[in-house]
């Protein structure tokens, strides 16, 4: 089997170590570049220095919101929300605020479920995210009667020809790890041009990524939630490969 990782993963180095020990081929082929957006002249109703709740929709939202980190640090009473333990770790290094995230299912849906249990009518929120990213959290907060702003701090751009058919094995199963729908579309766009059949198994964190994808080129799809360890990823793919 061969593993191809198309997105930056916190556990990538652990995956590499495990794969080396097990003589499994692994390679990183990043599908998207990240562009930091300027916040100059950005107008929003609830500046982060005074907003009651701040939601970071991804690790990149933490990294590329550096221009407002000082404002957030001054707002120590604000609750910070994120989707998983790795983003929480990044936030805890920067801020002393209370940080809340789903314990098991690292998803926007689960985060909204947690927030909906809190009695906070008319509470103010800023959702920090990437341009073109999901607006599910903002939309659901509005339905809950919350006051919501979105702050887009980065843009994801497709990397032209980030992978070729030569990067995939002709004789082994190719396990393609993808963590966003944008990266998945970029991968499919390139692979569809290939005249040579390669056996490919898509590995994604949830079924949402494969929804509305036409002309699916994969032989199989595996769901491995992104709160799993490198060991679980490798063991699950190995079992599938048997």
Q: What is the pLDDT of residues 112-162, one digit of tens each?
A: 999 998 877 668 999 999 998 889 999 999 999 888 999 999 999 999 999
Asked if 210 and 202 count as a contact pair (C-beta separation under 8 A), the reply is: yes
Q: Is 137 left (phi over 0), alpha (psi -120 to 50) or beta?
A: alpha
**Fold match flag (2-31+162-241 vs 34-157):** yes
pLDDT computed for residue 45 by the predictor: 55
Q: Report residue 105's pLDDT band, with 50, 70 and 90 as the boundaries.
A: confident
209 three-class SS: helix
In degrees, rounded to 5, the angle at the alpha carbon of residue 185 between the alpha carbons of residues 184 and 189 is: 120
Task: Report domain extents, the chain.
Answer: 2-31+162-241, 34-157
**Long-range residue pairs from 21-25, CB within 8 A, at least 24 positions apart, any chain:** 22/234, 22/238, 24/234, 24/238, 25/1, 25/169, 25/172
Q: Which fold has domain 34-157?
A: Rossmann fold (3.40.50)
pLDDT computed for residue 139 by the predictor: 95
Task: Kindly state the tokens that stand for 63.
Answer: 């990294």
Q: What is the pTM of this model?
A: 0.85
Q: What is the pLDDT of residues 64-84, one digit of tens each?
A: 999 999 999 999 999 999 998
pLDDT computed for residue 158 by the predictor: 94
CATH number, span 2-31+162-241: 3.40.50.10090
Residue 105 CA to residue 97 CA, distance in Å, equals: 22
Q: Report residue 170's pLDDT band, with 50, 70 and 90 as the boundaries.
A: very high
pLDDT computed for residue 43 by the predictor: 59
Residue 13 CA to residue 115 CA, distance in Å, equals: 33
| Of residues 97, 101, 145, the one with CA closest to residue 123 | 145
Q: Report residue 96's pLDDT band, with 50, 70 and 90 as the boundaries.
A: very high
What is the DSSP annotation of 65-99? TGGGHHHHHH-TTSEEE-SSHHHHHHHHHH--S-E
């Amino acid at each position: 089997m061969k593993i191809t990782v198309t997105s930056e993963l916190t556990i990538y180095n652990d995956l590499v170590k495990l794969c080396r020990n097990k003589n499994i081929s692994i390679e990183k082929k990043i599908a998207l570049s990240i562009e930091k957006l300027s916040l100059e002249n950005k107008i929003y109703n609830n500046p982060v220095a005074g907003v009651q709740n701040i939601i970071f929709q991804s690790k990149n939202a933490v990294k590329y919101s550096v221009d407002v980190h000082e404002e957030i640090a001054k707002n120590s009473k604000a609750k910070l929300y994120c989707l998983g333990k790795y983003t929480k770790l990044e936030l805890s290094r920067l801020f002393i605020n209370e940080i809340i995230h789903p314990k098991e299912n690292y998803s926007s849906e689960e985060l909204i479920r947690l927030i909906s249990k809190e009695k906070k009518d008319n509470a103010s929120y800023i959702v920090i995210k990437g341009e073109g990213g999901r607006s599910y959290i903002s939309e659901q907060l509005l339905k809950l009667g919350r006051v919501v702003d979105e702050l887009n701090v980065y843009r994801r751009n497709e990397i032209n020809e980030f992978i070729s058919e030569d990067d995939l094995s002709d004789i082994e199963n190719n396990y393609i790890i993808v963590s966003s729908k944008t990266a998945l579309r970029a991968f499919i766009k390139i692979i569809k041009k290939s005249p040579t059949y390669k056996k490919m198994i898509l590995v994604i964190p949830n079924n949402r990524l494969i929804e509305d994808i036409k002309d699916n080129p994969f032989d199989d799809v595996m769901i491995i939630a992104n709160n799993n360890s490198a060991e679980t990823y490798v063991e699950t793919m190995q079992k599938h490969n048997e």
